[in-house]
A and B are shown apart, each in its own frame.
Chain A
C-alpha cells in the first residue's frame, strides 16, 4: 500500500514534467522585445528615467585611489580573460584604481554570490560584475550598495535596481539582427536552425534570443526554429550538444547559432568533425582567436562580436566616474578614456557600440 502511494506520487511528478514539456521553450526571457526594422534603419531610442540603484552613504571617493573587484561569469575562458584585460588596462591608465579579477571556475551563480559576499565583508570600493543569473545576484548586490560600495555591471545584466550602471556591449536588438541576418545570408530565408546557448536563465543570452525571436518573426517569418539546447559555457558539453543536434536533425538542420563564446567554436568543431562543413552553417558570438581556424577553413563565414577588451575598459571607466560622482543619474553620456563619449540609453545602460562582424578578410587583424 505504501509502495503504491510512492509509485503514484513519482508517476505524478513524471507526468507533470511531461505535461509541462508540451510547450517548446526557445530559451528567451519574458521581457518585452523591440526588434529593429528589417532594412536596418536604426530604432529610435526612447530616453527612459534612471532605473538603477544607488549606494547608501558612500564615502567621498573623488580622485582617491580605489580598490575594485571584477567578478566575471567564470574565469578561464578567452572572452572573460579579454574583459579582465580591458579592466586591467583601464586601471593602469587611470593610475588610481587597483582591480582584482576573481570569479568562479564554472558559470555557477552560487559561487559568484559567495565571492561577492566575501569581498563585501573584506571591504572594497567598487564591484564590477557579469551576472550568471539576474535575479539571484540581486540580493548580494543590494547588500553591496547598502554597504556604500559602487556597483557597475557589464556583459550580463542584473535587475536594474541592484546596480548603478550597466555597460552593454551592443543593443540587444542590434546583436539579434546581426546574428539573424548573417544566418539567413547562409541558409536562406526559409532554412531551419538550432541554437546552442548557455542556460535559459542567463540574462544576456536570454535577452538576445528573445530579440532574435521577435526580429525573425518580423522579417523572416519562414525561418524555422528547431530547438534551443543548453551548454552552460562548458566546452565539452557544447560540443556534445552540437553533435546531438546534427545527429538528431540530420539534413533538416541547415544552421547552428552559438550564443556563447564557448558554444560557437565547439559547434564549429562538431560540424567539422562530422564532415558537415559547408552543409551546416555555423553563426554565432565568439572571439576571433577561437574561430580563426574555422573561418580560414571556410567552415564558418561570419562571427559576430564586439571588442571585449573595450567592454572591460569602458566598465572600469564608468565605475571610476560613478565613484567620483561625475556620473549622476539622468546623465546622457559618459567619458570612457580612449573610447570617447559613450551614450546612455534605457535609463541606466551605457552603450559600448554596435556589433562587429569578423570574417575571413579581417579575422587575422585581432588578437583576443
Chain B
C-alpha cells in the first residue's frame, strides 16, 4: 500500500521534471538557433559529465540521510595526485590515473569511517574533510600546476568514441549501474531503508555501517574519476579544481526529487535535474543572457521547481 503511494509520488516528480525539461528545451531552442544542434547538446553533456558523476554518488549519500560536502575537494585532490604521481614520481600515466582515482576512494572511505566509527554527523565530518583535503591538495601541489600530458590522455576529456564524447558514455554507463543498484538490489533497498529509518534498519540486522562506508567510498571514487576527467579536459592540473562542485551536485540531487532527510530518491530524477540545469545554463547563455543574469534566472527557476514539486507531493498524498 505504502509502496504504491511511494512510487506514485516519485513518478509524479520525475514526470514533472521531464515535462519541465521538454518545456525548457522547446523555449530555449526558440530563443537561439544554435541550441538544439546535436554538436551543442553533446558538448553540454560532456561539460556536465564531471558533476554528473558526483551527483550520481551524491544521490546515494543523500538517500541515506547524509551529505558529502567534501566531493569538490576530493576532485581537486585526485587531480593533484594524478599530476604529482605522473610528473614527480614518474609513474606511467594509466597507473597514475588509477592511483588518483583510488586516492579519491580512500578519501571517501575516510569520510565514511569518521561518520560510522566515530558517529560524527555527516555534515560536520565532510565539512571538516572538505578543508582537510583541499589543504592536502594545496600542500602536495605547492601551488604549481602540472602540464604537458601526452595527447593520448586527452581522449578521455576531449575525444569521441563512435562519434559520442567519451564522458557521455562514461556518464551513461555509471547512471545505468547506479540506477540498477539503487532500485533493484538488496544493497539499494538497504540504502533507502537507512535513510527512511536508520534505527529500524539497524534492528532489522541490515549492515548499516558497511553500506554507509561503501556509499561514502563510492562518493570519493566518483569524485576521483571526475578529477581525472577534468584534468584530461583542461589539459592541466590546478589545486583549486572542483571548488563549489558539491553545491552543484547537491542541487541536482535535491531538484531530482530526493528528500534531504533521506529515504527517498531516484537516479532518474537526478539525471533529469542535471539535464535541466545544464540546459538552462547553456540555453540562457546562447540566448544572450550574461553570466551573472544566468545565475539569477537559474536560482528563480530552481525555487519554482522545488515549490512545484512540493505542491504536487501534497496533492498526491491526499
Interaction A to B: yes
A27: which of B109, B143, B234 is its contact (CB, 8 Å)? Answer: B143
Does A21 sit at the interface, judged by CB under 8 A?
Answer: yes
In contact, A21 and B43 (Cβ under 8 angstroms): no
Contacts of B34 in A (CB 8 A): 121-123
Does B174 sit at the interface, judged by CB under 8 A?
Answer: no
In contact, A3 and B113 (Cβ under 8 angstroms): yes
In contact, B32 and A122 (Cβ under 8 angstroms): yes
Q: Which of A195-246 contact B (CB under 8 A)?
A: 199-201, 230, 232
Q: Which of A101-117 contact B (CB under 8 A)?
A: 102-105, 108-111, 113-115, 117
Specify the chain B residue showing the minimal Cβ separation from A138: B235
In contact, A109 and B113 (Cβ under 8 angstroms): no
Contacts of B235 in A (CB 8 A): 135-136, 138-139
Q: How far is the CB of B155 from chain A (nearest CB, A)?
A: 13
Does B290 sit at the interface, judged by CB under 8 A?
Answer: yes
In contact, B47 and A201 (Cβ under 8 angstroms): no
In contact, A201 and B143 (Cβ under 8 angstroms): yes
In contact, A230 and B143 (Cβ under 8 angstroms): yes
Does B145 sit at the interface, judged by CB under 8 A?
Answer: yes
In contact, B139 and A20 (Cβ under 8 angstroms): yes
Cα of A6 to Cα of B145 in the assembled complex, Å: 27
A17 touching B291 in the complex, CB below 8 Å, given contacts A118-B282, A121-B286: no
B106: which of A9, A20, A133, A139 is its contact (CB, 8 Å)? Answer: A9
Does B236 sit at the interface, judged by CB under 8 A?
Answer: yes
Does A366 sit at the interface, judged by CB under 8 A?
Answer: no
In contact, B140 and A115 (Cβ under 8 angstroms): no
Cα of A17 to Cα of B76 in the assembled complex, Å: 14
In contact, A6 and B109 (Cβ under 8 angstroms): yes
In contact, A6 and B140 (Cβ under 8 angstroms): no
In contact, A23 and B142 (Cβ under 8 angstroms): yes
Specify the chain A residue showing the minimal Cβ separation from B138: A17
Q: How far is the CB of B253 from chain A (nearest CB, A)?
A: 20
User: What 1/0 flags go to A8-35 for Cβ under 8 Å of B?
Assistant: 0110011011101101010100000000
Q: How far is the CB of B72 from chain A (nearest CB, A)?
A: 11
Contacts of B285 in A (CB 8 A): 114-115, 118-119, 122
Contacts of B117 in A (CB 8 A): 3
Does B7 sit at the interface, judged by CB under 8 A?
Answer: no
Cα of A16 to Cα of B137 in the assembled complex, Å: 10
Does B136 sit at the interface, judged by CB under 8 A?
Answer: yes
Does A66 sit at the interface, judged by CB under 8 A?
Answer: no
User: What 1/0 flags go to A301-312 for Cβ under 8 Å of B?
Assistant: 000000000000
A122 touching B286 in the complex, CB below 8 Å, given contacts A13-B103, A21-B139: yes
Contacts of B47 in A (CB 8 A): 114, 117
Does B13 sit at the interface, judged by CB under 8 A?
Answer: no
Specify the chain A residue showing the minimal Cβ separation from B236: A135
Contacts of A10 in B (CB 8 A): 106, 110
Q: Which of B48-84 contact A (CB under 8 A)?
A: 84
Cα of A136 to Cα of B39 in the assembled complex, Å: 22
* Count of A interface residues, CB-CB < 8 Å: 43
Q: How far is the CB of B158 from chain A (nearest CB, A)?
A: 6
A102 touching B143 in the complex, CB below 8 Å, given contacts A13-B136, A118-B286, A121-B286: no
Does A75 sit at the interface, judged by CB under 8 A?
Answer: yes
In contact, B43 and A121 (Cβ under 8 angstroms): yes
User: What 1/0 flags go to B256-291 for Cβ under 8 Å of A?
Assistant: 000000000000000000000000011001100011
Cα of A108 to Cα of B37 in the assembled complex, Å: 28
Cα of A223 to Cα of B34 in the assembled complex, Å: 57
In contact, A102 and B286 (Cβ under 8 angstroms): no
**Which of A6, A9, A17, A100: most chain B Cβ within 10 A?**
A17
Contacts of B43 in A (CB 8 A): 117, 121
**Which of B47, B135, B281: most chain A Cβ within 10 A?**
B47
Contacts of A133 in B (CB 8 A): 145, 234, 236, 238
In contact, B144 and A200 (Cβ under 8 angstroms): yes
Contacts of B234 in A (CB 8 A): 109-110, 113, 133, 135-136, 139
Cα of A307 to Cα of B145 in the assembled complex, Å: 30
In contact, B140 and A20 (Cβ under 8 angstroms): yes
In contact, A104 and B291 (Cβ under 8 angstroms): yes
Contacts of A105 in B (CB 8 A): 291-292, 295
Q: How far is the CB of A252 from chain B (nearest CB, A)?
A: 23
Specify the chain A residue showing the minimal Cβ separation from B77: A13
Does B189 sit at the interface, judged by CB under 8 A?
Answer: no
Q: How far is the CB of B33 from chain A (nearest CB, A)?
A: 9
Q: How far is the CB of A79 from chain B (nearest CB, A)?
A: 18
Does B313 sit at the interface, judged by CB under 8 A?
Answer: no
Specify the chain B residue showing the minimal Cβ separation from A16: B140
Does B40 sit at the interface, judged by CB under 8 A?
Answer: yes
The 8 nearest A-B residue pairs measured at CB:
A17-B139, A200-B143, A136-B234, A135-B236, A118-B285, A201-B145, A17-B140, A135-B147
A-B contact pairs, 23 of them (CB 8 A): A13-B140, A16-B140, A17-B135, A17-B140, A20-B84, A21-B142, A23-B142, A27-B143, A104-B291, A105-B291, A111-B291, A114-B47, A121-B34, A121-B43, A122-B32, A122-B286, A133-B236, A136-B235, A136-B236, A136-B238, A139-B233, A201-B143, A232-B240
Q: A-side interface residues toward B, CB under 8 Å?
A: 3, 6, 9-10, 13-14, 16-18, 20-21, 23, 25, 27, 75, 100, 102-105, 108-111, 113-115, 117-119, 121-123, 133, 135-136, 138-139, 199-201, 230, 232
Given contacts A13-B136, A109-B234, 15 further A-B contacts (CB under 8 A): A6-B110, A9-B106, A17-B135, A17-B139, A17-B140, A75-B292, A102-B291, A117-B47, A118-B285, A135-B234, A135-B236, A136-B238, A139-B154, A139-B234, A200-B142
